[in-house]
Amino acid sequence: MRFSFAIWTFVLLAGSLGMSQGAEVHSRQGVAFAQLSADRTSPDIGQWLSEKVVVRHVHHAAVIGRFASAVIARTSLLAQRLTKSALRFLGVPYVFGGTTSAGFDCSGYVQHVFAMHGIRVPRTADAQFYAGQHVKQLRPGDLVFFQTYEEGPSHVGIYLGHGRFVHASSSRGVMISTLSDAYWANRYLGAKNLIH
């Protein structure tokens, strides 16, 4: 992990200097050796690039920890904003093909809520299912999918946490339901993530 971070840092540095093409990274006893090829760069710096650059490992755990914490915090904040925005539409009626606050279908509702935060998602439940990344442990902001009126993913909602999700129900409009409800539990296909 630490060694790969040093290589990754070097590759990023090399890329920012326009040297990413033709860079080969080798390792020996915890030291990364980068052989830079001069054939894909301008001739005036060919001499410099033909030299081996040695990148020694430096302990970056604190930097990595701060970076990871910031990413998680931003992701969690986005999930909070998504779920808060989703709840604004409680009670909006169901309209087949609806994508506005005048009336939503399930996937139009999800698409609308995500678009409020600059996130583009496909229009239909099945396309949203295939666009997302499978998750094992649900988090707020994840999409939950169900097989309802046709084979495959045909209904979608936004997970709120604690076993609850918000969705545009064909019978009651935008509402909150629980995954443990017998109807939904029997039709549950899985969850996908589009923001983490």
**Residue of 117, 162, 167, 196 marked active site:** 167
**Rounded to whole angstroms, how far apart are CA atoms 148 and 170?**
11
**Residue of 26, 106, 134, 162 marked active site:** 106
Judged by DSSP in three states, 19 sits in: coil
**Residue of 60, 155, 162, 196 marked active site:** 155
Tokens of 49: 């690039």
- Residue 155 annotated to the active site: yes
| Cα 54 versus chain centre, distance | 35
Whose CA is closest to 6, among 50, 49, 70, 64? Answer: 64
Give the helix/strand (H/E) hosting 27: strand 23-28
Q: Which residues are catalytic?
A: 106, 155, 167
